[in-house]
Structure 1
Amino acid sequence: MGSAALVGLVLAAAPPPSVVSVDGVLCDITRSLVQSDARVTCLVPPGADPHGMALRGSDRQALSTARLVLVNGYNLTPAMNRIRVSAPVVAVAERATPGNPAKDPHVWHDPGLTSAMVRESATALRPLLGAAKAGALQRRSQAMQAVLNQLGSWSAAQLQTVPSAQRVLVTEHRAFSAFARRYGIRELPVIDDFASGGTLRPSSLGAISRAIRQSGTKAIFAEALPPSKTLRRISSFSGVAIAKQPLYADGLAPGKSLIQTATANVCTFVTAQGGRCDQRTASALQQQWAAIR
């Protein structure tokens, strides 16, 4: 057997390289980019809070053997700040959005910024996958960016169905600034804006209630269900109901992709605020995303 054939057999037998993609959004991006060309381990499961993640033994093992670690950056996962690994660590959102003076980690709520995260992830993965896989990686990256571009246009069209006076997003915390800037929505994160040190005092409750009533919103949006005691109290005092569905602020909805989570967030906001949402096109976008190979 010739040397070239031996090299081919060795390469064929080699296991795919290991990548750790820390949070859910990046995990979906990474898996969509690499398909079977790398083994991807995710540390923050869908629906979990990345801000409060605690590393398990299996997480530390995955980090110790990874050849590349992708993190969102902007301190989305503080637990990662204390970890030292031998593999390169790439803060994808920081590279994708260097002009982010507030250092808001939730950049993926703007599909255009998500597209930049896809490009930066592909750039980080290219040396790991090698020249033989570069073409497929680039094709997937371009296909994903095309879907995200359509997502941006679709989202804008849905949001236009909401009466302008009701294009206000009332949440507990400031996690949707990228979304609000992209689509011209007023963001009202009541705890961050009115509660000193995160403590809800009676005076704060009164100011929050007035601000909500004056905002024009038809709903208050929770980040999880059941809503927190604080949010229920705010709803009771303001007289504005909590939306029936949550908005997923910190990652993916359980069992859902990036596209499914994004379209669900848009539809939750739009329908609660008196607009109409095109579910058929949302499903078509997800089918395009899932079909990327």
Structure 2
Amino acid sequence: MLLEKLAKSVLALDLSKHRGLSRFSVATLAAIATSLGACSVTSDTNSPVSSTAQTPTSSPVAKTENLPLVVATNSVACGLAEQIAGNTINLKCLIAAGTDPHIYQPNPDDRKAIDSAQLILYGGYDFEPSLIKLIQASSNPAPKIAINEVAVPNPIMTADGHSHSHEGDHDHDKDEKKSEGETKAADPHVWNDAENGIKITQSISKSLSELRPDQAAMYSTNTAKLVDELTQIDAWIKTQIATIPEGSRKLITTHDALGYYAQAYGITIEGALNGLSTDEQPTPTRVKELVDVIKSSQVPTIFAEVSINPKLINTVAKEANVKVSERELYADGLGAQGSEAATYAGMLIANTRTIVEGLGGKFTPFQPKN
């Protein structure tokens, strides 16, 4: 209701009586009015590449009635669980790739799956809030593992969940002392740092091995392969970011989801339209502030995201006279089946390519070493 009133008030503005807004175009204000509350899912438009490793919505087996039911709330958890366990579990993925977990609303089948699962894997740190409420309220005694919280017990903390600058030498202790009275929120997007992804992989593998000790050896083998690949990708990302001119290593995105990536790989986040969650809609004032930040920081490119409507970020770019990358970021999870980001490793590679090319670096495809 508040957003509707704000939208109506923006459209009703008589600019002749508000000369102070002359720097901020009518087109921008109109876009804000129509975009507020519109966080709709967009199609996966990034160029697909051939890949034999996909992320199915359930395990690729003909009969699953005798297999333990494992529920994974988000695409990262689901993709890694599938790569570790293959067809030894009945895997139920609740939030499809390309869907925004922040605003996802559960359906009756989700509740049924949660109540009957033998293992539940979810992100935590309020990443998928509606599903977390269901999971915590369920009387199902099965293990409920918040994989992001297990992997990263000391997350990035952000005042009121709003966007802030992240750098490779980010000092969390210093941030904590800035304002003790502020309400802080944990950044849930921990997997955007490959080292954290390794910890998530190991956490999922441990839970699966406890569920199926008879398959623990296979899970250990698959986990070791994943860890080796992710270790190589982590080192590769650092070499790719190093090709970006130092003064251009700045990110402006649709929402504040790449803090861990920035911290790990030496990027500064100059700003974002939304905070940690995409349900936090930007005000006209916030949008104008971001336009000013873009102009002052002289970033060469800003970035849209696969799971968020790009209309407002495109309007901001036009107002700030900066281009939007043709390639969108996978900030909240994996890409659809058949896309370049259909696996966790593929997502890290795709995002790095998008950032490197958008900021003027020289992208070199990842070549795994045996």
What TM-score do the two structures reach when normalised by structure 1? 0.85
- Cα contact 2:125–2:148 (8 A) shared by 1: yes
| Equivalent AA in structure 1 for residue 67 of structure 2 | P
Match of 1:261 in 2: 347
Deviation for aligned residue 1:126: 1.6
Change (3 A) 1:226 1:34: closer
Match of 1:279 in 2: 365
Question: Per-residue CA shift, 1:99-142, capped at 9, x if unaligned?
Answer: 11411111110000000001111121121102x21111111111
Q: How does 1:180-191 map to 2 (within 5 A)?
A: 180-191=262-273
Match of 1:96 in 2: 151
In structure 1, the residue corresponding to 2:301 is in which secondary structure? coil
Deviation for aligned residue 1:54: 1.6
Which blocks of at least 5 consecutive residues in structure 1 are unaligned?
Answer: 1-12, 289-293
Q: How does 1:44-55 map to 2 (within 5 A)?
A: 44-55=95-106
Deviation for aligned residue 1:227: 4.8
Counterpart pick for 1:209 among 287, 291, 296: 291
Deviation for aligned residue 1:14: 7.9
Match of 1:77 in 2: 128
Report whether the alignment pairs 1:232 with 2:311: no
Report whether the alignment pairs 1:154 with 2:209: no
Match of 2:248 in 1: 166
Match of 1:34 in 2: 85
| Equivalent AA in structure 2 for residue 127 of structure 1 | E
Match of 1:3 in 2: none
| Equivalent AA in structure 2 for residue 244 of structure 1 | E
Which blocks of at least 5 consecutive residues in structure 2 are unaligned?
Answer: 1-63, 158-185
In structure 2, the residue corresponding to 1:279 is in which secondary structure? coil
- Cα contact 1:218–1:240 (8 A) shared by 2: yes
Q: Distance in 2 between matches of 1:101 and 1:169?
A: 17
Q: Distance in 1 between matches of 2:95 and 2:139?
A: 18
| Equivalent AA in structure 2 for residue 95 of structure 1 | V
Q: Distance in 2 between matches of 1:226 and 1:24?
A: 16
Match of 2:302 in 1: 220
Q: Distance in 1 between matches of 2:76 and 2:318?
A: 33
Match of 1:114 in 2: 197
Q: Distance in 2 between matches of 1:245 and 1:23?
A: 22
Deviation for aligned residue 1:80: 1.6
- Cα contact 1:165–1:216 (8 A) shared by 2: no
Q: Distance in 1 between matches of 2:81 and 2:228?
A: 16
Change (3 A) 1:127 1:224: closer
- Cα contact 2:105–2:131 (8 A) shared by 1: no
Q: Report 1 or 2 for greater relative contact order, CA contacts < 8 Å, sequence distance ≥ 6.
A: 2
Match of 2:107 in 1: 56
Match of 2:225 in 1: 143
Q: Distance in 2 between matches of 1:137 and 1:187?
A: 37
Deviation for aligned residue 1:38: 1.0
Counterpart pick for 1:177 among 254, 259, 268: 259
Change (3 A) 1:234 1:88: same
What TM-score do the two structures reach when normalised by structure 2? 0.68
Q: Distance in 1 between matches of 2:114 and 2:274?
A: 34
Match of 2:172 in 1: none
- Cα contact 2:76–2:334 (8 A) shared by 1: yes
Q: Distance in 2 between matches of 1:41 and 1:205?
A: 39
Match of 1:5 in 2: none
- Cα contact 2:124–2:132 (8 A) shared by 1: no
Q: Distance in 2 between matches of 1:112 and 1:101?
A: 15
Question: Per-residue CA shift, 1:137-159, capped at 9, x if unaligned?
Answer: 11111111111101101111111
